[in-house]
Amino acid sequence: MTKPARPLSGLNDADLRLLRVFKTVVECGGFSAAEVELNISRAAISLHMADLERRLGLRLCRRGRAGFLLTDEGRMAYEAALRLFAGLESFRSEINAAHGRLRGELNIGITDNLVTMPKMRVTDALRGLKQQGPEVRVNIRMIPPNEIERGVLDGRLHVGVVPARRALPGLDRLPLYQEESHLYCGRGHPLFDAETVPDAAVEAADAIAPTEAQQVPEAAGVQRALTATATATDREGVAFLILTGCYVGFLPTHYARQWVERGAMRALLPERFHYAQEFQAVTKTGTQANLVLERFLDLLRRTGMEGAGTKGVDGPQKSG
């Protein structure tokens, strides 16, 4: 494709509409899947994409029998478009704040399977936000911790909820709570009905190892004692394997409780095979004032103060 002789001089409303079509196509994974989301025909989407490529002077994607595939320039344009729309939303929020109205969006990324926490501060803060700002639009994305941190840093997300693993530069952190995890086996496993569970039997059992993205430093010592013969990328995958009755694996106690109460799972030697992990809310350091985000963070801090000195099933709640 021929590139424009001059750099892109500015963006108009038509450009923004084309970029929104492009963003939707990328997030839907192709033209066909985007038809329903955009409520326009596949042919119209193709024309919009061609117009955007001519406008930018870049080849954004390849279409063919192999399916939809972004080019390197397309990935760059997509990331830039996300930052652009995040900036527009921030502008709108700041203008609304000047009028004293709680309006705009809250884009939040959350690690999977936290909703069963007995003291879920995020849920309480979201409830308070909806009560104080009925017009606020909340967008939740359930994605891995590393993607959440990148999304907060590049502006796609306003706030994320992630495990406290490493000190990533450029992020402010608000401690939320401690999560307790135990080692479980499922009904049908040789250890499930055993009256006495020897350490050696647990260590020799087929175990589930976390993938690199899911590894927890606090669990390294107890995990090394196990015989890993399977992996899972998330907690739901671990639960699937445990419920086969063929594997042992670590799950948060709040998440496993539903199966323990039904007699489908059992904790193994919890006094030895356990660990605790802290979760925290992260925001970008030095982010421009945003009334919606500030109100949400304030509500998160209040939930910590209200729970200070109390103990839930999974241990003490840390105050922010």
- The first and second tokens of residue 269, run together, are 């030697």
Query: Which of 2-6, 105-109, 113-117 bottoms out in mean pLDDT, i.e. has the lowest?
Result: 2-6
132 and 264 co-located in one domain = yes
CATH of the domain at 304: 3.40.190.290
Burial class (CB in 10 A: 0-12, 13-18, 19+), 144: middle
| 234, pLDDT greater than 90 | no
77 and 145 co-located in one domain = no
Q: What percent of the chain has pLDDT over 70?
A: 85
| 169, pLDDT greater than 90 | no
115 and 223 co-located in one domain = yes
168 and 198 co-located in one domain = yes
Give the residue, 79 or 307, on which the prediction is more confident: 79
165 and 272 co-located in one domain = yes
20 and 156 co-located in one domain = no
Q: What is the mean pLDDT of the chain?
A: 84
| 308, pLDDT greater than 70 | no
55 and 118 co-located in one domain = no
Query: Looking at the domain assignment, is residue 36 inside a domain?
Result: yes
Distance CA 110, CA 104 (A): 20
Domain boundary among 83, 114, 136: 83
Sign of CA dihedral 138, 320, 176, 128: negative
Question: Do 178 and 277 contact (CB within 8 A), yes or no?
Answer: yes
| 311, pLDDT greater than 60 | no
User: Residue 85 — pLDDT band, cuts 50, 70, 90?
Assistant: confident
By residue range, what is the domain housing residue 29?
13-83
Provide the number of structural domains found in the chain: 2
43 and 186 co-located in one domain = no
| 181, pLDDT greater than 50 | yes
